[in-house]
Amino acid sequence: GENVEQHPSTLSVQEGDSAVIKCTYSDSASNYFPWYKQELGKRPQLIIDIRSNVGEKKDQRIAVTLNKTAKHFSLHITETQPEDSAVYFCAAMNSGGSNYKLTFGKGTLLTVNP
Amino acid sequence: GAGVSQSPSNKVTEKGKDVELRCDPISGHTALYWYRQRLGQGLEFLIYFQGNSAPDKSGLPSDRFSAERTGESVSTLTIQRTQQEDSAVYLCASSRGGVVRAYEQYFGPGTRLTVT
């Protein structure tokens, strides 16, 4: 089955700096890679996703890059703000089969210091 | 429209008792997932329902755990003979499913289970 590794487990940055979280996956058939944000005490919410037919996707201060050859993808947050503080989870899925199950990484606790 | 709802929001039970957790997915969502999240930990997949297909039970940690789903609506996660290590937040999520290539999972608020 799929295995997703996520690094780092914790990340502390100063407000205004950039933050990068990296994930690797094991199943070369995986083709859908979402990122979820979970604020303290709240439910996870999708913030951005990318499919394997593109290498990069951007949404305002958030971007995700995908390297299919190396089987890794990364979340980039620029101009970080205190409200970006949360746990971020990456995930991978093979949407070509009939099982639409996401395999999640273990999460990264991002702290943005004002 | 309404999001994913779960009940109860909190459940305290004694070791050895059975518990039932309920999830109401978003109407029209064919896929439903259950996850367990221990304090400060990641999302541990438990079980996945997709339409009328046989559920993917590969994440259930033991035979004390089971889940059912009625058609494409309500799901119930049952934990029998609860143990202290079952204490966690149990999250339910639903998605429109692969038919429309809509994979975003919408999570419920979770049920916090405490086994004393």
**Mean pLDDT throughout A42-46?**
94
**Hey, what are B3's tokens?**
């999001």
pLDDT confidence band for A79 (50 / 70 / 90): very high
**Which pLDDT score, from 0 to 100, does residue B101 have?**
64
What's chain B's average pLDDT? 92
Of the listed ranges A16-20, B19-23, B38-42, B62-66, the one predicted with least confidence: B38-42
**Which pLDDT score, from 0 to 100, does residue B7 have?**
97
- B91: which chain A residues are within 8 Å (Cβ-Cβ)? 43-44
Contact map slice: A 47-66 vs B, CB within 8 A: 49
- CB-based contact A45 B33, cutoff 8 Å: no
Give the separation between CA A53 and CA A31, rounded to whole angstroms: 8
Inform me whether the C-beta atom of residue A1 falls under 8 Å from chain B C-beta atoms.
Answer: yes
Inform me whether the C-beta atom of residue B96 falls under 8 Å from chain A C-beta atoms.
Answer: no
SS3 B98: helix
Identify whether A114 is preceded by a cis peptide bond (ω within 30 of 0).
Answer: no
**Mean pLDDT throughout A53-81?**
95
Q: To the nearest whole angstrom, how far is the Cα of A89 from the nearest Cα of chain B?
A: 8
pLDDT confidence band for B97 (50 / 70 / 90): confident
Does the pLDDT at position B103 exceed 90? no
Does the pLDDT at position B98 exceed 80? no
Q: What is the pLDDT of residues A86-97, one digit of tens each?
A: 999 999 998 776
Q: What is the DSSP string of B80-97?
A: -S--GGG-EEEEEEEE-B
Q: Looking at the partner chain, which of A46, A89, A100 has a beta carbon nearest the beta carbon of B43?
A: A89
Determine the residue of chain A that is closest to B39 in CA distance: A41
Does the pLDDT at position B108 exceed 80? yes
How long, in residues, is chain B?
116
**Which pLDDT score, from 0 to 100, does residue B41 have?**
87
Strand partners, A88: A37, A108
Does the pLDDT at position A72 exceed 90? yes
Instruction: Identify from B26, B29, B43 which residue to disrupt to test chain A contact, counting A C-beta atoms within 10 A and taking the largest count.
Output: B43
**Which pLDDT score, from 0 to 100, does residue A94 have?**
86
